[in-house]
Chains A and B, each alone.
Chain A
């Protein structure tokens, strides 16, 4: 059973516009949610995270929103840049344990 779901396999956005990547989870027993970014032939790298007690965390062009009642989080990138083109993975950390559960990823293409 997929505990973390990214239902959009891909997203295409014009440079300068906002990119919104979505993630849903089914288990309430997560205390941190993280976004990772992956370029081809490289390992994923940490981008931004949010604690389950918060509803927003912002870091430069990147903002993560958490809606606990809907079990939904989203990553906003504003403004989008061509260098943001990558696969974005949503991940969740269980309250008990340190095994991150990852979604399937969303391919973001930012067109110049």
Chain B
């Protein structure tokens, strides 16, 4: 498809388990973002990749969270030893180098529930 693709769409896991969330951005988009939305909250920035530059990890809430972007395309967000407060919708977005400044194209999100 032409849009940002995320998988899985839903993930239920037990506290303490590791999870991986995948994002396939729009082809040709150089920037990739991860945000999360907890219940009743706004979108919280997690991490940002731009081309071959070092990622901006300033939004990652703890060292249990990590992300990588392989080959400048697909990204994986990994949460180790999940906690109940990690339950949220994790949204991936990509951005083109041109177009409306700041316009992000979001995927449908991965809903994570930690029991």
Q: Which residues of A contact B (CB under 8 A)?
A: 4, 6, 31-32, 34, 41-46, 49, 51, 89, 91, 93, 97-105
In the complex, how many angstroms separate the beta carbon of A17 from the nearest chain B beta carbon?
Answer: 26
* Neighbouring A residues of B45 by C-beta, 8 Å: 99-102
Given contacts A43-B107, A98-B95, contact A89 B102 (CB under 8 A): no
Task: Give the complex CA separation of A93 and B93 in angstroms.
Answer: 15
Give the interface residue-count category, chain B.
20 to 34
Contact B91 A89 (CB under 8 A): no
Contact A32 B101 (CB under 8 A): yes
B86 interfacial by beta-carbon distance below 8 Å: no
B42 interfacial by beta-carbon distance below 8 Å: yes
In the complex, how many angstroms separate the beta carbon of A4 from the nearest chain B beta carbon?
Answer: 8
* Neighbouring B residues of A51 by C-beta, 8 Å: 101
Contact B48 A49 (CB under 8 A): no
Q: Which residues of B contact A (CB under 8 A)?
A: 4, 31, 33, 35, 40-45, 48, 50, 56, 58-59, 91, 93, 95, 100-109
* Neighbouring B residues of A93 by C-beta, 8 Å: 101-102
Residue of A with least CB distance to B9? A41
Task: Give the complex CA separation of A31 and B106 in angstroms.
Answer: 21
Contact A100 B104 (CB under 8 A): yes
In the complex, how many angstroms separate the beta carbon of B62 from the nearest chain A beta carbon?
Answer: 19
A and B contact pairs by CB, cutoff 8 A, 16 listed: A4-B42, A32-B101, A34-B100, A42-B108, A43-B108, A46-B104, A49-B102, A51-B101, A93-B101, A98-B48, A100-B45, A100-B102, A102-B43, A102-B44, A104-B40, A105-B42
Contact A98 B31 (CB under 8 A): yes
Q: Max chain A CB contacts within 10 Å: which of B4, B102, B104, B107?
A: B102
Given contacts A99-B45, A99-B56, 10 further A-B contacts (CB under 8 A): A34-B100, A34-B102, A41-B108, A44-B104, A46-B104, A51-B101, A91-B43, A98-B48, A98-B50, A100-B33
* Neighbouring B residues of A102 by C-beta, 8 Å: 35, 42-45
Task: Give the complex CA separation of A98 and B42 in angstroms.
Answer: 18
